[in-house]
Amino acid sequence: MDLHLAGKRALVCGGSSGLGRAVAEALAAEGAHVALLSRDAEKLQVVADGINATSTGRAVIVTADLADHAGLLAAVDAAEGLLGGPIEILLNNTGGPPPSGVAGLDPELWRAQFDSMVLSVFRLTDRVLPAMRAAGWGRILNVASSSAVEPNPMLGVSNTLRAGITGWAKSLATEVAADGVTVNTLLPGRIDTPRIQQLDKAAAERTGVTPEQAQSKSVESIPVGRLGDPAEFGAVAAFLASPRAAYVTGSLIRIDGGAIRSI
């Protein structure tokens, strides 16, 4: 299936590894031009070089810290200059906080995580949205987590803030649907990324087992019986970013191997 993404301009946050990298690679394979954003220029360049060597779409890099809102908006300006026009596809993808509960946390920790995980998403989206609405076409994709609908007891901050993103995204989808802009939120489960490896290591230290044993235990709860491949996540995102998915908006898309138990 041709997704009709050739020549579309995308900004992919967290593009240096994991889910962001997988989405960037999937978009570029369909001919989209992608600007990869993260703090690490060296890692970004490695990903961009790989995309440029293998894909019909091209990749450029811009750097920013999601908590530095002025720097973030400047990075969008740079990305649009490098890509030759306004951003048409935005992947909001923020890093996850360390494992924790929610009781008794320092208010400054909440503020810092809100700035990087939530307010950065609002700022980025508000920056690119006017051009999308004027053009009558745009795609906003948000990477949240399955814990937004089935909270993980060890990911209290993530549970809370990701759930906030889902409410905001549903509200925004209603506001911009008539303008040809869709807003959808992806709910990854356990996909084989550095983030999952970090969480498995933390679980192993907490329970006195090896990281491999911790991962094996977690896989038992996944009906398909394995971790997800990042490319599988990227494929879903590429479809939702495409003109083919014009009638899908305001949705929570589970990519979790069936792990969420609720309907």
Q: Indicate which CATH number applies to the domain containing 78.
A: 3.40.50.720
* 65 within domain boundaries: yes
Regions in the chain scoring below 50 on pLDDT? none
Asked if 33 and 6 count as a contact pair (C-beta separation under 8 A), the reply is no
pLDDT attached to residue 212? 84
Can you give the three-state secondary structure of 156-223, one letter per residue?
HHHHHHHHHHHHHHHHHHHHHHHHCEEEEEEEECCECCHHHHHHHHHHHHHHCCCHHHHHHHHHCCCC
* 82 within domain boundaries: yes
Cα 236 to Cα 25: distance, rounded to the nearest angstrom: 12
What pLDDT, in 10s, does the model give residues 150-189? 998 889 999 999 999 999 999 999 999 999 999 999 999 9
* 221 within domain boundaries: no
Asked if 188 and 143 count as a contact pair (C-beta separation under 8 A), the reply is yes
What pLDDT, in 10s, does the model give residues 90-106? 999 998 888 889 999 99
Asked if 17 and 194 count as a contact pair (C-beta separation under 8 A), the reply is yes
pLDDT attached to residue 217? 82
pLDDT attached to residue 194? 83
* 35 within domain boundaries: yes
* 215 within domain boundaries: no
* 172 within domain boundaries: yes
Count of domains in the chain? 1
* 207 within domain boundaries: no
pLDDT attached to residue 216? 83
pLDDT attached to residue 42? 97
Rounded to two decimals, what is the model's pTM? 0.94
Domain that holds residue 109: 9-191+228-255
